Chains A and B, each alone.
Chain A
Amino acid sequence: MDINDFTRPKEGLLASDFHLLAHAIPHALITINNKRQVIFANQQAQNICFSKASNLTPFLPLEGLIDPSKQELVGMVYDTYKFKKNISRPFEFGTKTYLAESRIEIEKGKLLGCSLSLIDITQNRLRDKQHELFYQVSSALSAATHLHQVLKVALTQIMQSMNVTAANIMLYERESGTLQVKIDSKTKDHTADAREFRLGEGVAGKCAQELKPYSVHDISTSSLFAQKTDLDSGALLAVPLASRGRLLGVINVSDTEPRYFTESEVQFLTIIANDIAIALENSMLYERLNHKVKLLSKLFWISSFTGVKTLDTRIQRIVRLIAELLDADDCCIFIHSTVRNKLVLRYQKDLSSPLPLQVSLDSPSLSKTVLTKQETIMLNEPVKVPEVTIFKKYTKIRNIICGPLHVNQKPIGVLYVINKRNGQFDEEDKHMLTITSHRIGTIIENAQLLRKVEAEKDLLDNIIKYTNEGVAVLDGRKRVVIWNGYLEELTGLNSNEIVGLPSYKILYNRLGLKKLTRTLYSQDNSQNKSNLDSPMIEEEMRGLGKERVWLGSVYSHLYDANHNVEYTIIVFRNISKEKEFIEAKNEFVSLTTHELRTPLTAIKGYLSMILSGDSGKISNKQEQYFGKAYQATERLVNLVEDLLDVVRIDEERVIINPIPCCINNIITESLEGYSMKAKTKNITLEFHSDSSIQVMADPEKVKHVLCNLVDNAIKYTKERGKVVVTLQTKKNDLIIGVRDTGVGIQTKHLKNIFDRFVRVPNSLSVKAGGTGLGLYIVRSFVEKQGGTIWVTSQINKGSTFYFSLPLNLLPTTEHVKTT
């Protein structure tokens, strides 16, 4: 069984890679958390240990899953927790024998959990039974998890079974190509001395080279005695330790007296050597696997945490683990910086040969190749590769594996593993690195994303919190989601108290913002899609007490995919200052206009008296001059009246008293005042009266509107023109039209003609005079009475101003209904 057999996993996390690995190894492997719940069990574990009925889902308690006949395992795991140490012992289940090992996972003194593994050692046992003699050897050997244990058991058995004075076991070190004595019967503590042999050197060297037993009856006379051997004189027998033709080592036995070893002695030692070789291989494989499983499970633990703050520590630990896992001197991680197209060194294990802190990706390098190709590159002769420039500080660089860290094709960084301790990196190492780098890429990306998201959220929170306007956000059900710091201060309502409450409870009940609440709750969501035109709602807030606070609020909606309102954002502005200013301005205007009225009264009064001859007869010239002065005064008087009306409109002090009234009379009265004016310009005034029509309106205001429109019509109509007043009922409204044959209004001016201080420039306007307030006042008066006003016009053909008034639908005059 070899790790190379593993199927290469696709993209994915280490968790799944770990699972793949774990399922592929021949052992049973169970991971248990500190609550004694199973968080992972590989296929073998499920087959061997679990009840047939048990259905594996994570976090089931161990004892529930384990087959009742195998509850001893549970006891063993609990002992592991209890004594906080690893336990290993053989178990026999039916015809099978397993070596069970329970290994504790502790991080920073905190118990994380436990890994339980079972290794099938039945084969070893069976073979041992065939060779009764070797039973103890094999049993001891197979139970031995450490190489040294195997050697020790083997040596003891050899010394007991053979009639020899000494024995030793040498192991072949592949890297150095030498045989090294690992255990020797002559040294009491069985520790190996430093003696080593090259292949072909001495008896053991010959035996190892040719992979066959080699014996010398008297070493002192042998030609092989030439150099250092472990005997001065006597007989020596060397038997190779080999598995599947691969040299593992040599067993040497010796007698102090020269003699010939019998065929059966050679055969016996060969058989024992076979067994030892298997045990050795098993133990080495076991140790290697065990080591890797241990490292992998550690990686698994480390990478299951997702916190941002621990990222650096985790990267460091991962790097060290990988170095250990791949048995390398050094390992490091470079993180890709998108801003500058560089790799930045994040962590290096071995700082004795420091790497550059930054590697540019603009010029060719190994990192660039790895990132571009997105595959792991293994170089066992890196000196020949010109791209490997960043390692120039390494005095001796033997080999490198470089793996890309990426998530969904996006480069995250590069992982380097440098200098395998003994020999070369192999495909297994490469595969291991590929697997782990996927996982590391993911955890780095996750941590970075998390950090970015948190930073962005913090920024947004702060922007909302400290923005110098009130910001409130409501969810789709109009509950308060955000209530920023400015609003807290303005309203005295703490965000903590009100987040989650229905907004009307706050806006209406507590703050008295009736208009805003009404608009928010009555809003037809299908409308107002364009958030731009939401008008500012101004109203006084029921505030903290002393001061009057006026709030201006504008809101907009965020829609979800189904076009439903997902969020509503309301921006509040404290407009108290503006309000104060407007009030002050209006007060100023009204005071000054009132002050203007009195002197104007005197001027106008005296002029009128002069003109009517109260002060005696005046000449024609005087009459002409005083007449002009009088007209100018009239204009001034009208301007003052208009200004007063505008202030009244601004302050919402226009009072409308609608009563049922006959429109006929109002129109006739209004037109009477203009008959002279029309006559002087030779303009026909026309009105097709209909005395049956009654409207609900304020006669004074309607008169004001009509006078204004008729006055304009005459003003802008040339001599011999025509001004016609028309009536038309439509549904519940009366539409009154004032049509002229005047100069007309350009289309571009039509839309704002009813705004304040708008005077449409045309050839007559200069001559006609006017304040630009008339139509604004007219519109306000019409709208106040529940009507609308609009205009159609054609250049040089004339204009028609229309306004509507609600019809009086009740036949009786006895009803005065005010809103």
Chain B
Amino acid sequence: MPQPSDTITRHRILVIEDDPMLVEMYKDKLKKEGFRVATVSDGKKAVARVKQGADLILLDILMPGMNGFELLKKIKSEEQTKTIPVIVLTNIGSELSDNDKNLALSLGAADFMIKSLNTPQDVVNRIRTILGIQPNTMKNSTE
């Protein structure tokens, strides 16, 4: 059972997601896993929020305000934010194509994940891999 870690600096995860149910789900899971979580549900607002800093961003693509790919471009183009790893976590891309993954990676995303194919645990595992954190509990999330 994972416990919030007090020993290590708690990492800040920014969840950019417009669906309230999913926001709540990822937030709960991440907190449970010991992360600090901030959420924003609008592309435009997210631009400002990103500037306040984060250790990793979970980014949705289809959102009001601004498309996730645009936002990703913006994040990666600004000196202040471009080093923040971004996991594109989405259910729909810009178009009906399976090229979204390539597009996201080419724009500098650390990874690309389809929400419905991955459990929150899968997401957490990926975040840990990217941030290079040892999980508190050894748990294989592969089903």
Contacts and interface: CB of A to CB of B under 8 A. Distances in A.
A601 B115 CA distance: 6
Contacts of A590: 96
A777 to B, nearest CB: 11
A597 B22 CA distance: 11
Given A598-B115, A601-B22, A602-B25, A648 B91 contact: no
Contact of A608 (B91, B114, B115, B119): B119
A641 B96 contact: no
A448 interface: no
B98 A654 contact: yes
Interface in A576-612: 586-587, 590, 594, 596-598, 600-602, 604-606, 608-609, 612
Contacts of B119: 604-605, 608-609
A717 to B, nearest CB: 21
A602 B92 CA distance: 15
A63 B84 CA distance: 112
Contacts, number: 70
Interface string B112-134: 00111101110000000000000
B117 to A, nearest CB: 7
Contact of B98 (A598, A609, A634, A655): A655
B99 to A, nearest CB: 5
Contact of A614 (B32, B115, B116): B32
B49 interface: no
Contacts of B92: 594, 597
Interface string A651-673: 10111010000000000000001
A627 to B, nearest CB: 11
Contacts of B117: 637, 641
B120 A608 contact: yes
A647 interface: yes
B91 A594 contact: yes
Interface string B87-124: 00001100011110010000000000011110111000
Contacts of A654: 98
A605 B25 contact: yes
Contact of A598 (B28, B91, B121, B139): B91
A648 B142 contact: no
A597 B142 contact: no
A278 interface: no
Contacts of A601: 22, 91, 115-116
A647 B96 contact: yes
Interface residues of B, number: 26
User: Which among A594, A613, A640 has the highest number of chain B CB atoms within 10 Å?
Assistant: A594
A488 B92 CA distance: 44
Contacts of A641: 116-117
Contact of A604 (B29, B32, B102, B116): B116
B138 interface: no
A602 B27 CA distance: 12
Contact of A653 (B26, B29, B98, B116): B98
A657 B102 contact: yes
B29 A609 contact: yes
Nearest to B117: A637
Nearest to B1: A613
A643 to B, nearest CB: 12
A637 B115 CA distance: 10
Contacts of A647: 96
A653 B96 contact: yes
B48 interface: no
Given A602-B22, A606-B25, A609-B29, A637 B116 contact: yes
A609 B24 CA distance: 13
B8 interface: no
Contacts of B78: none
B19 interface: yes
A597 B120 CA distance: 14
B133 to A, nearest CB: 18
B121 A608 contact: yes
A655 B97 contact: yes
A609 B116 contact: no
Contacts of A600: 116
B91 A597 contact: yes
A756 to B, nearest CB: 18
Contacts of A594: 91-92
A758 to B, nearest CB: 23
A615 B33 CA distance: 12
A188 to B, nearest CB: 119
Nearest to B140: A676
A653 B25 contact: no
B97 A653 contact: yes
Given A641-B117, A655-B99, A598 B1 contact: no
Contact of B121 (A587, A612, A651, A655): A612
Interface in A122-179: none
Contacts of B29: 605, 609, 614
Contacts of A653: 96-98
User: Which among B19, B21, B28, B96 has the highest number of chain A CB atoms within 10 Å?
Assistant: B96
A654 B96 CA distance: 10
Nearest to A607: B119
Interface string B1-36: 100000000000000000101100110110010000
User: Which among B32, B102, B119 has the highest number of chain A CB atoms within 10 Å?
Assistant: B119
Given A598-B91, A606-B25, A655-B99, 9 more contacts: A601-B22, A602-B25, A604-B119, A609-B29, A612-B139, A634-B143, A641-B117, A653-B98, A655-B102
8 contacts: A605-B120, A609-B28, A614-B28, A637-B117, A641-B116, A655-B97, A655-B98, A655-B99
Interface of B: 1, 19, 21-22, 25-26, 28-29, 32, 91-92, 96-99, 102, 114-117, 119-121, 139, 142-143
Interface of A: 586-587, 590, 594, 596-598, 600-602, 604-606, 608-609, 612-614, 634, 637, 640-641, 644, 647-648, 651, 653-655, 657, 673
6 shortest A-B CB distances, which residue pairs?
A608-B119, A597-B91, A601-B115, A597-B116, A594-B92, A601-B116
